[in-house]
Amino acid sequence: MAQSHPASTNTPSYLTGDPAGLREFLDKFDVFLFDCDGVLWSGDHCFPGTVETLELLRKNGKQVVFVTNNSTKSRADYRKKLDGLGIPSTVVSSDGHHARETEWLTPYQEEIFSSSYSSSIYISRILQLPENKRKVYVIGESGIEQELRSENVPFVGGTDPAYRRDVQPEDYKRIAAGDTSLLDPEVGVVLVGLDFHLNYLKLALAYHYVKRGAIFLATNIDSTLPNSGALFPGAGSMSAPLIMMLGQDPVALGKPSQAMMDAIEGKFKFDRTRACMVGDRANTDIRFGLEGNLGGTLGVLTGVSSKEDFVSGPVRPLAYLDKLSDLLASEQ
């Protein structure tokens, strides 16, 4: 049961209700990278068994890393969310006692890797911006801002109330003329993430920044965001108008971009052949694991992709489950 190439047409193993198959699968991996929305929870609803499943993995010495494309939250926000959902922030050792933090048992917040963090690292450490073009124009929420601050990247836009207003007739002339009170001349990057306050003015400014030479980045390109068992506009939908206007795709920093995998590996130092990506989306999560040459990928049917997507689609996981907590049957 070797991990297949992205373009291959293997038939994924269906492991729900197969304790022996589950044990065999788990034994192959030391590290599990988890997508969150649609895998551990949907919106504010934690799936039954999520907490117990993560405990089981940790009890068996597996390292858990939460890898999320949701750019609206920072790693600190995610820690709060995980705490609020009852997902433990300490790690239980195999004998059932609380373990001391060891080298591989990193502090909890460090187990979280978000697209806003990945984007901030890319801007601060990879991009070589000219001295006078270091500001980032943000379309997004506070999660992006917090992570940019953590990397000392200056920014404008984001949650600034000055941008949460209707476009005014005089804005057109000011933007067309490059008025520096609307278009900051030091902006060298436009970073687009999920923004619940997207509006016409923000899109107009982002477009003009890119036309004036700014680099076009997206935290991620998921078109939808699961919530309450349904789908809502995702970060990719914020970039979509700009992609259409500019005729240009952004550099996307979230899954399935391998920029994110490289950053995770740089931080957590693991053997890719002993790592498994768990996710609900074939075209982002599973693709991310396959293109990253991880040892395995595991699909769950509690999010976006359907059984048909996993079994017959162009991007197929190594195995799939009805739901994450089906892993608990490995103990039977």
- Give the three-state DSSP class for 253: coil
Rounded least distance, CB 257 to its own copies, Å: 17
Residue 24 in tokens: 């065999």
Does the footprint of its own copies cover residue 210 (CB under 8 A)? no
Rounded least distance, CB 175 to its own copies, Å: 6
**172-175: which pairs have CB atoms within 8 A and are 24 or more residues apart?**
175/204, 175/205, 175/208
Does the footprint of its own copies cover residue 312 (CB under 8 A)? no
Closest CA to 171 of 199, 211, 142: 199
Does the footprint of its own copies cover residue 244 (CB under 8 A)? yes
Name the one range near its own copies by CB under 8 A: 46-54, 96-104, 190-198, 264-272: 190-198
Residues 31-70 as b/e (b if ≥16 CB within 10 A, e otherwise) read bbbbbbbbbbbbeeebbeebbebbbbbbbeebbbbbbbbb
Closer CB to its own copies, 44 or 110, in the complex: 44
Does the footprint of its own copies cover residue 232 (CB under 8 A)? yes
How many residues touch its own copies (CB under 8 A)? Answer: 40
Rounded least distance, CB 215 to its own copies, Å: 19
Could you give the CA distance from residue 323 to residue 302 in angstroms, rounded to a whole number?
A: 6
Does the footprint of its own copies cover residue 208 (CB under 8 A)? yes
Could you give the CA distance from residue 53 to residue 331 in angstroms, rounded to a whole number?
A: 11
Binding residues for substrate: 255
Rounded least distance, CB 148 to its own copies, Å: 22
| SS3 per residue for 273-295 | HHEEEEECCHHHHHHHHHHCCCC
Does the footprint of its own copies cover residue 182 (CB under 8 A)? no
Contacts of residue 160, defined as CB under 8 A and 6 or more positions apart, other chains included, come to none
Rounded least distance, CB 140 to its own copies, Å: 12
Does the footprint of its own copies cover residue 198 (CB under 8 A)? yes
* DSSP H helices in the chain: 19-27, 50-59, 75-84, 115-121, 142-150, 169-176, 200-211, 235-246, 258-268, 287-291, 307-312
Strand-pairing partners, residue 300, are 321
Q: Which of 230, 258, 306, 314 binds its own copies (CB under 8 A)?
A: 230
Residue 44 annotated among the catalytic residues of the structure: no
Binding residues for Mg(2+): 35, 37, 280
Give the distance from CA 50 to its chain's centroid.
19
Residue 160 annotated among the catalytic residues of the structure: no
Q: How does DSSP classify residue 123?
A: I
Q: Which of 166, 181, 213, 308 binds its own copies (CB under 8 A)?
A: 166
Does the footprint of its own copies cover residue 19 (CB under 8 A)? no
Strand-pairing partners, residue 136, are 155, 189
Does the footprint of its own copies cover residue 51 (CB under 8 A)? no
Does the footprint of its own copies cover residue 43 (CB under 8 A)? yes
Does the footprint of its own copies cover residue 231 (CB under 8 A)? yes
Closest CA to 191 of 124, 269, 256: 124
User: Which residue in 18, 30, 35, 166 is the catalytic one?
Assistant: 35
Catalytic residues, by residue number, are 35, 37
Binding site for its own copies (CB under 8 A): 43-44, 166-167, 169, 172-173, 175-177, 195-200, 203-204, 207-208, 211, 223-224, 227-234, 236-238, 240-245
